[in-house]
Structure 1
């Protein structure tokens, strides 16, 4: 396979160590994280999730993302499906580098974008060298 070709990645189901009361499968969304001088930008792929179906919680430096896929009431009963639907769950531990009061999120075309601004102390800065 040519190194420039992309491979499709199957959804990874969330592995739990305790009992769960979920009646539907829960998947770990694929996530890309980018960085610039001002922030970290997290992009989570959650197809089928609407703005109303996303919950983001921040508690004790842990950012938790949940996405609920709404059931379509089409009146059709599937006889064969290749696309597994379910909900999404992912959590991240944040460091003190992130200004937690300024976190913003938006959803577009099934992709959740979370902007995690850096705290002022964590931003790169130029230090002036003085003559001794």
Structure 2
């Protein structure tokens, strides 16, 4: 795969197109199967509420992966991501209905480095709350 974005064409402040990723309970069950994380707070409303959560919540790593998609889709090559880190600031609450939840992800280039690398600051929100904090990816561009 080749990168869609060239280092010479990017400046600090360049915005990545905002994306909205739907999350339904079925997505969480599929993710549990793929990841092996079958913690009941990710699929059982009764258990989630019994531990003080408002409802079933998405896996943190699922949320992180969805936010990372913003960057990999923008650059066009997942292998171009050299570093990626987040802090979880709020859960993505996923109701048991036809709509589920949404994770709205945006980003902007916050720094240009040597060796064709840029830092992308990422913002992820769900249900009006910022669900990831201090989120950024270092990407090597063509």
TM-score band (shorter)?
A: under 0.3
Pair member with larger Rg? 1
Whose strand fraction is larger, Structure 1's or Structure 2's?
1
Question: Normalising by the residue count of structure 1, what TM-score does the alignment of the two structures yield?
Answer: 0.28
Q: Considering Cα pairs closer than 8 Å and 6+ residues apart, tell me whether 1 or 2 has the greater RCO.
A: 2
